[in-house]
Amino acid sequence: MTETLTSTKLVTGLEGVVAAETRLSSVDGQAGELIIAGFPVEELAGQATFEETVYLLWHDRLPDAQELISFRAALAARRDLPPATLDLLRTAAAQRVAAIDALRMAAGTLSLQGADDPEQQALTLLASFPTIIAAYGRLLQGEEPLAPRPELGHAANYLFMLFGRTPSPEHVRGLETYLNTVVDHGMNASTFTARVIISTQSDLISAVVGALGALKGPLHGGAPGPALDMVFEIGDAANAERYLRRKLEQGERLMGFGHRIYKVRDPRAEVLSAAAARMFQGNGHQALYQLSRQVEQTAVALLAEYKPGRNLQTNVEFYTALLLHGLDLTTDLFTPTFAIGRVAGWIAHCFEQQQLNRIIRPQSVYVGPKDRSWTPLRAR
């Protein structure tokens, strides 16, 4: 089949190229605005349960009381993992495989559940991610995985399976706010990957596994831990300016600052900062929160001094690291926990792409030679 080449303009990184229409999220980097299915993230994230947010993305409306009960029950019924998935996680833990790689491999085994229907696959993926990550986190610590509890919600169950105790309402609210905040964010690299895969009429599990591969990269979702490491290394607000100046003068990047889209403070950082402040009240982390705020203020001021005109502001990584640390998660679980939220967005985008039913097939511009002649092997 001959394809028509409509444009030969090269756009490195596809920046500014529109690849889809979506009702799922809108990102305005100049205004610092993120809209999730019609709701400003500041309004949705701190009030909705995660199940309500997922239902909103998948059905384009909030559920009523009975629909929410049914949706939670459908997820609870799919939290258990196949024996083969647990066997894989045990093998991965014995080799100390990175948690995000263990999640990617385990997600692929969910095809063993036997569901070909996209809706059933979607529920299985969403329900299984917390079980996979919690089981792997415990295996890395030399502990046995815990069975999910059907009476607990999505966020509460994840924390229970990790730590073996019923989480406090403050921790559950903090985690739900985080998951709601990161559930979708425009046509980012992992979302685009999922849409490309599903556009070939591949299956949902394959699309999500591909998205996980994109998320792993440190230029996408793989770098929230270093932002917290930087705060710990500073240790005291009095050390912040000297420490940060040294990094900038050595040409190093300040983790948790700067974003390809946002030219003002990332609205997700605003939401997570407020969530962390609420969660840390009275739990011993207040001093860390105050230190983080001071480090943030110093970093933003120095970035304006060293890189004028770049508008390098706080991004979601900075307060992601702080909030997840406050939940007692280890840094290797930060990116997989991000995936617990983002998988709902990936699936929603896949549903949109399936409705369009058109393969994503961009062009490339050939820049190699065209006049080579074949040389037999004996003459080379």
Beta-bridge mates of residue 34: 27
The answer to the question of residue 110 being in a domain is: yes
Residue for token pair 């085994």: 109
Distance separating alpha carbons of residues 100 and 371, to the nearest angstrom? 45
> Does 232 lie in the same domain as 188?
no
Q: Binning pLDDT at 50, 70 and 90, where does residue 4 land?
A: very low
> Does 97 lie in the same domain as 239?
no
- Determine which one of 171, 259, 325, 349 is catalytic: 259
Q: Binning pLDDT at 50, 70 and 90, where does residue 3 land?
A: very low
Could you tell me which of 300, 302, 271, 276 has the C-alpha nearest to residue 290?
A: 276
Tens digits of residue pLDDT in 157-207 = 999 999 999 999 999 999 999 999 999 999 999 999 999 999 999 999 999
> Does 83 lie in the same domain as 158?
yes
> Does 134 lie in the same domain as 245?
no
The answer to the question of residue 165 being in a domain is: yes
Distance separating alpha carbons of residues 341 and 335, to the nearest angstrom? 10
Distance separating alpha carbons of residues 160 and 253, to the nearest angstrom? 36
Would you state the pLDDT for residue 207? 97
> Does 235 lie in the same domain as 203?
no
- Residue 257: phi and psi, rounded to 5, are -135, 140
33: helix, coil or strand? Answer: strand
Domain of residue 202, residue span: 37-218+340-356
Residue for token pair 């998948």: 58
Q: What is the dihedral of CA 31, 36, 40, 46, to 10 degrees?
A: -130
Euclidean distance between the first and the last CA atom of the chain, given in angstroms as a whole number: 36
> Does 247 lie in the same domain as 201?
no
- Verify whether residue 259 is a known catalytic residue: yes
Distance separating alpha carbons of residues 73 and 153, to the nearest angstrom? 9
Higher pLDDT, 52 or 366: 52
The answer to the question of residue 73 being in a domain is: yes
Q: Of the residues 326, 348, 372, which one is the last residue of a structural domain?
A: 326
Query: Does 225 score more than 90 pLDDT?
Result: no
Would you state the pLDDT for residue 2? 40
The answer to the question of residue 23 being in a domain is: no
Query: Does 13 score more than 50 pLDDT?
Result: yes
Of the candidate ranges 34-38, 170-174, 222-226, 350-354, the one whose mean pLDDT is the lowest: 222-226
> Does 118 lie in the same domain as 246?
no
Tens digits of residue pLDDT in 54-66 = 999 999 999 999 9
> Does 229 lie in the same domain as 259?
yes
> What is the pTM (predicted TM-score) of this model?
0.91
Would you state the pLDDT for residue 136? 98
> Does 211 lie in the same domain as 140?
yes
CATH number of the structural domain spanning residue 104: 1.10.580.10
CATH number of the structural domain spanning residue 247: 1.10.230.10
Would you state the pLDDT for residue 29? 82
The answer to the question of residue 4 being in a domain is: no
Would you state the pLDDT for residue 287? 87
Query: Does 43 score more than 50 pLDDT?
Result: yes
Distance separating alpha carbons of residues 211 and 195, to the nearest angstrom? 9
Would you state the pLDDT for residue 7? 59
- Determine which one of 171, 317, 325, 349 is catalytic: 317
The answer to the question of residue 203 being in a domain is: yes
Tens digits of residue pLDDT in 64-113 = 999 999 999 999 999 999 999 999 999 999 999 999 999 999 999 998 87
Tens digits of residue pLDDT in 109-152 = 998 877 678 899 999 999 999 999 999 999 999 999 999 999 99
Q: Domain tally for the chain?
A: 2
Beta pairing, strands 33-36 & 39-40 = antiparallel
CB atoms within 10 A of CB 202: 13
Dig out the tokens for 207 from the structure.
């699309």
Higher pLDDT, 75 or 254: 75
Beta pairing, strands 39-40 & 25-28 = unpaired
> Does 162 lie in the same domain as 86?
yes
- Verify whether residue 42 is a known catalytic residue: no
The answer to the question of residue 88 being in a domain is: yes
The mean pLDDT of 256-273, rounded to a whole number, is 84
Query: Does 355 score more than 90 pLDDT?
Result: yes
Would you state the pLDDT for residue 253? 87
> Does 90 lie in the same domain as 175?
yes
> Does 212 lie in the same domain as 288?
no
Would you state the pLDDT for residue 190? 96
